[in-house]
Amino acid sequence: MTLFQATGLQKRFGSRVVLENITLGIEEGTVHGIMGPNGAGKTTCFHLLTGHHAPDAGSIVFAGQDIAGLPPHRIARLGVARSFQIMNLFDDTVVIENVMLALPAFKAQTGRIFGNGFADRRLIDSALEVLDMVGLAGSAWSKTKSLSYGDRRALEIAVALAAEPRIVFLDEPTSGLGVEATRALAALIRRLRTRFTICLIEHDMRFLFGLADRISVIHWGQVITEGTPAELMANKWVARSSLKEAV
């Protein structure tokens, strides 16, 4: 089943057309990759899909509902989570607090962002469960700023998962990671794929081709080709690019 379908998306900033015509379908329960050169419009595409920018034209249907132009919090509440290209964590808190602040039960209970969640054992348990999914339960009470770079990435994913989404958008999750941390992240995404639909932008081709069920290539504001990793490897455009050597 197609969980997420964007059709004919267009976005311009002033006179500059960044996305001309993006059509993208994401099947439920898959890992969908997005690749393309720097400045191709990948992050802008994520901004449209998650409501951070409204498209100038086109439709975005999530689980049968047209969500184009809805504000980010409405889209998030429907079950769409994302991480940002730049990390977005509360450094001076303990690790678990980042996750607690993102739990729907926490937000509903306090009605504001900073409440006293530590008074509620159920919230702590829910947050621990999410941390466990990403392998960070053992660091729950450590200072956020003491985490390694790779663990910060995993925590960022945990924050996205805390909202109990159906689909998670990850923008370049391997950026800045070394070989070991990249491998650990691939293992994490493989574990998560059984529970969530995942869409990720990646420059690391080896990582992406090893994980994705399908990949869309964005260039010149359009999806210029789309397919399974094997199909893309056989694609003429891909064969002519530097991609093949990278994989």
**Binding residues for Mg ion (CB under 5 A):** 42-43
Phi (first) and psi of residue 64, to 5 degrees = 85, 0
User: Quick one: 55 or 117, whose CB is closer to ligand ATP?
Assistant: 55
The reply to whether 42 sits near ligand ATP by the rule CB under 6 A is yes
Touching ligand ATP, residues 123-182 (CB under 6 A): none
> What's the closest the beta carbon of residue 200 comes to ligand ATP, in angstroms?
12
Q: Select from 2, 13, 28, 247 the one that contacts ligand ATP (CB under 6 A).
A: 13
The reply to whether 50 sits near ligand ATP by the rule CB under 6 A is no
> What's the closest the beta carbon of residue 99 comes to Mg ion, in angstroms?
25
Among residues 216, 226, 242, the alpha carbon closest in space to that of 45 is found at: 216
Integer-rounded Cα radius of gyration of the chain: 18
The answer to whether the Cα torsion of 81, 52, 61, 107 is positive or negative is positive
User: Quick one: 43 or 241, whose CB is closer to Mg ion?
Assistant: 43
4: helix, strand or coil: strand
Q: How far apart are CA 132 and CA 155, in angstroms?
A: 10
Q: Select from 7, 10, 23, 43 the one that contacts ligand ATP (CB under 6 A).
A: 43
Structural contact between residues 86 and 73, judged by C-beta atoms closer than 8 angstroms: no
> What's the closest the beta carbon of residue 171 comes to Mg ion, in angstroms?
6
> What's the closest the beta carbon of residue 132 comes to Mg ion, in angstroms?
30
Place of tokens 């293992």: 187
The reply to whether 33 sits near ligand ATP by the rule CB under 6 A is no
User: Quick one: 40 or 215, whose CB is closer to ligand ATP?
Assistant: 40
Residue 175, both tokens: 């950026």
User: Quick one: 96 or 217, whose CB is closer to ligand ATP?
Assistant: 217
41 binds, among ligand ATP, Mg ion, none (CB under 5 to 8 A by kind): ligand ATP
Instruction: Concatenate the DSSP letters of all residues of 188-241 into one string.
Output: HHHHHTTTSEEEEE-S-HHHHHHH-SEEEEEETTEEEEEE-HHHHHH-HHHHHS
Q: How far apart are CA 233 and CA 80, in angstroms?
A: 30
Of 39-47, 57-65, 145-153, 234-242, the segment contacting ligand ATP by CB under 6 A is 39-47
> What's the closest the beta carbon of residue 144 comes to ligand ATP, in angstroms?
25
Q: Select from 1, 15, 39, 245 the one that contacts ligand ATP (CB under 6 A).
A: 39
Structural contact between residues 74 and 52, judged by C-beta atoms closer than 8 angstroms: no
Q: How far apart are CA 47 and CA 108, in angstroms?
A: 25
User: Quick one: 43 or 241, whose CB is closer to ligand ATP?
Assistant: 43
Q: Which residues bind ligand ATP (CB under 6 A)?
A: 13, 18, 36, 38-44
